[in-house]
Structure 1
C-alpha cells in the first residue's frame, strides 16, 4: 500500500486469518507497520559455518515448525521465540523431506554467544508457495530511477550510521568482516537469487565508496582533507607533516585490516 496514493486512515480493513475474515475499523496506517507472510512454511536457506545450527545438524531446506511446542507462523515470531529461549535448553521441531524430526538444543551451546542471540541461519519462505501471494508491480522508467536513488540513499545512510556507531562504541568491532565475511554473504545472497546478489554487490561498492571518502590519509578523503587545509592555510603542508599523517593513516588502515581478518578467522575458521 502506498501512502502517497492512499489515505493514512482506513475506515474499513478486512483481513483473512486462518480462514476467518476479520473486520478492522479506522486502521491508522504508518510506515512502521510491516506485513509478514503468516502461516507459510519457514525454510532454512543457508547455515553459517561453525554456528549453533551447524553443530546441532540443521540442514538447508529444513522447515522449522515449532520451538518448544510453540508453533511459529512467520519469521519475526520465530526470531522472537528463539531469543526468549536464549541461554535455555529447548527443542526444535522441524520437517525434513516431509518427515517430522525433533532436535534438542542444549544451553551449553550458547557459551560465548550471550549477546548475539543467533543460531546462525538465514531464513526464508518456500518460493513455490509464496509465488501464489506475489503481486507484480510495474513501474515506469522514471519511477524506477527514483526508487533506485531512494534505496541508494538508504544504504548510504546505513553505512554512515554503522561507522558512527563504531566510533561511539555502540557497535562492536567484532561485527567487522573481511574477505571471508564478504565471500560468505555473497554466497548467501547468490543462493537467494540473481537480484539479491546484484543488490549485495551494489551495497559493497557503496560501502567502499563511503569508506574511501573518510578523512584518513592514504584514502581519497584524506587527500581531500589535505586540499581543504591547503586552501584554508594558503600553502601546502610540509613534507614532514605529510609523511607523518600518511604513517598514521597506514596504521589506522592496518589495524582495521587486522581486526577484520581476525574476526574472519574466529568466525569462519575457528568457530569462536
Structure 2
C-alpha cells in the first residue's frame, strides 16, 4: 500500500514537471523551426524533414511536397533538414549537390544565393522574437497587466535606499529624468543599472526632493525557493501603498506592451551575458533542461498565463543563443555567409569542417556545464 502510494506520488510529481516542460519546449522549438521552414520554402528550397525532437521517430507523415513531419523520442530541440544538408545542423553536403540533377540543384539549400540562405537561417531566431511579442501581446490583451503606484511602503534597513534617505510614503516621480508611472517601472529601471548611481526625484508631503541611490547586486529568492542575483535598492511596496490593480489593455496597448516587454527582456539577456563574461554574474545561474523542467512545473501552478510568460522569456533566450557566432548554431552559419558576401566566395570546405567541429565541442561543453549546474552544481 505504501509502495503504491509512493509510486503514485512520484508519478504525479513527474507529470507536474514533464507536461509543462514539454508544452513550453515544444511551442518554442516548433515556432523556431517553422521560421526556417516557411522562409526556406519561400526561397524555393526543398524541405526534406521537419522534426520536433531528435532520435527515433515516434510518429510522422509526409505532406504533398514530400516533407516528412515527425515527432521524435528525445524532446530537446528540433530541426528542419533541407535538400543538400548533410545533417540536422545544416552542414552542406557539397558532394551530394554535385551529383544532383539540374532540377534538384535548383532546390538545394547550398546552391541558393547567400542572401536566400542567410534569410532562411535568420528566420528561426526571428520567429522566436515574434513568438515572444505575440505571447506578451495576447496575455496583455486577455489578462491585462498588474500595476501599482510607485509609492514606498517600507525601506529595508541597511539598504542603499535607506542610506540615500528614502522614507515610507515617498512617491518616486522619476529616475535620471525618466518619468515613472508604476512601481514596476522603478523595479525595471533599477534592475538594469547595477552599481550605477541613479538620480531620483521623490514627492514627500507635497514637496519634490532629489535623492541619489546606487543599486546593490544581491542574492534574491523567488516564491519557489530558487535563488538569483539582481540589483536592488531596498524599496518595498504593498497593496496599501501602491493600490495594486489589473489594468485592461486595448489591442494597440497590448501590442505596445508586447513590444516593450520583449525589448526589456532582450536587453536584460544581453546585459546578463555581458556581465557573465565580466565576472559580475554567477555562472550557477546558467541552467539546462532539468532546471527548465523544474521551473516549468513551478510556474504552471500559477496558471496558464504564467506558463505562457515563461515560454515567452525562454523563446527570447533560445533566439539569442542561436544568434551567437558559433558554428553549428544559426549565428555561426550567418557568420560564414557574411564572409561569403564580403569575399565573393565561401570558406573552404576544410575550414568549415574544422569550424563545425569546434562549434560542436563548444555546444556540447555548454550543455554539459548546464547539466552540471542542474544536478551536482546545486547539491
Gaps of 5+ in 1: 1-12, 37-114, 124-128
In 2 relative to 1, CA 205–227 (structure 1 residues): closer, same or farther, beyond 3 Å?
same
Task: Give, in whole Å, the separation in 2 of the partners of 1:150 and 1:120.
Answer: 23
| 1:142, distance to aligned residue in structure 2 (A) | 0.4
Task: Give, in whole Å, the separation in 1 of the partners of 2:173 and 2:329.
Answer: 45
Q: For 1:180, which of 277, 286, 290 is the aligned residue?
A: 290
Q: For 1:242, which of 352, 355, 358 is the aligned residue?
A: 352
Aligned to 2:248: 138
Aligned to 2:276: 166
* Partner deviation per Cα, 1:76-102 (whole Å, 9 max, x = no partner): xxxxxxxxxxxxxxxxxxxxxxxxxxx
- Write out aligned runs for 1:1-12 (5 A): none
| 1:173, distance to aligned residue in structure 2 (A) | 2.1
In 2 relative to 1, CA 23–181 (structure 1 residues): closer, same or farther, beyond 3 Å?
closer
In 2 relative to 1, CA 204–28 (structure 1 residues): closer, same or farther, beyond 3 Å?
closer
Aligned to 1:30: 174
Q: Which moved more, 1:224-233 or 1:159-168?
A: 159-168
Report if aligned partners of 2:288, 2:371 keep a CA contact under 8 Å in 1.
yes
| 1:14, distance to aligned residue in structure 2 (A) | 9.9
CA RMSD in angstroms comes to 3.6
In 2 relative to 1, CA 141–241 (structure 1 residues): closer, same or farther, beyond 3 Å?
same
- Write out aligned runs for 1:247-258 (5 A): 247-258=357-368
TM-score scaled by length of structure 1:
0.53
Task: Give, in whole Å, the separation in 2 of the partners of 1:16 and 1:212.
Answer: 42
In 2 relative to 1, CA 153–246 (structure 1 residues): closer, same or farther, beyond 3 Å?
same
Gaps of 5+ in 2: 1-149, 155-166, 185-216, 226-237
Report if aligned partners of 1:173, 1:259 keep a CA contact under 8 Å in 2.
no
Task: Give, in whole Å, the separation in 1 of the partners of 2:298 and 2:371.
Answer: 20
Task: Give, in whole Å, the separation in 2 of the partners of 1:255 and 1:232.
Answer: 31
TM-score scaled by length of structure 2:
0.39
Task: Give, in whole Å, the separation in 2 of the partners of 1:189 and 1:210.
Answer: 22
Report if aligned partners of 1:212, 1:221 keep a CA contact under 8 Å in 2.
yes
Greater helix share, structure number:
2
| 1:183, distance to aligned residue in structure 2 (A) | 1.0
Aligned to 1:122: 224
Task: Give, in whole Å, the separation in 2 of the partners of 1:253 and 1:229.
Answer: 22
**Which structure would you say has the larger RCO, counting Cα contacts within 8 Å and 6 or more residues apart?**
2
Task: Give, in whole Å, the separation in 1 of the partners of 2:175 and 2:224.
Answer: 25
Indicate the SS of the match to 1:181. Answer: helix
- Write out aligned runs for 1:7-18 (5 A): none
Aligned to 2:372: 262
- Runs of 4+ with deviation above 4 angstroms: 13-17, 22-25, 31-36, 115-121
Indicate the SS of the match to 2:224. Answer: strand
| 1:23, distance to aligned residue in structure 2 (A) | 11
Task: Give, in whole Å, the separation in 2 of the partners of 1:190 and 1:227.
Answer: 41
Q: For 1:189, which of 299, 310, 335 is the aligned residue?
A: 299
In 2 relative to 1, CA 251–116 (structure 1 residues): closer, same or farther, beyond 3 Å?
farther
Task: Give, in whole Å, the separation in 2 of the partners of 1:15 and 1:165.
Answer: 29
Report if aligned partners of 2:151, 2:183 keep a CA contact under 8 Å in 1.
no
Task: Give, in whole Å, the separation in 2 of the partners of 1:205 and 1:15.
Answer: 34
Aligned to 2:336: 226
* Partner deviation per Cα, 1:12-66 (whole Å, 9 max, x = no partner): x99999xxxx9979x5612597759xxxxxxxxxxxxxxxxxxxxxxxxxxxxxx
| 1:169, distance to aligned residue in structure 2 (A) | 2.3
Task: Give, in whole Å, the separation in 1 of the partners of 2:301 and 2:168.
Answer: 39
In 2 relative to 1, CA 221–119 (structure 1 residues): closer, same or farther, beyond 3 Å?
closer
Task: Give, in whole Å, the separation in 2 of the partners of 1:14 and 1:264.
Answer: 38
Aligned to 1:104: none
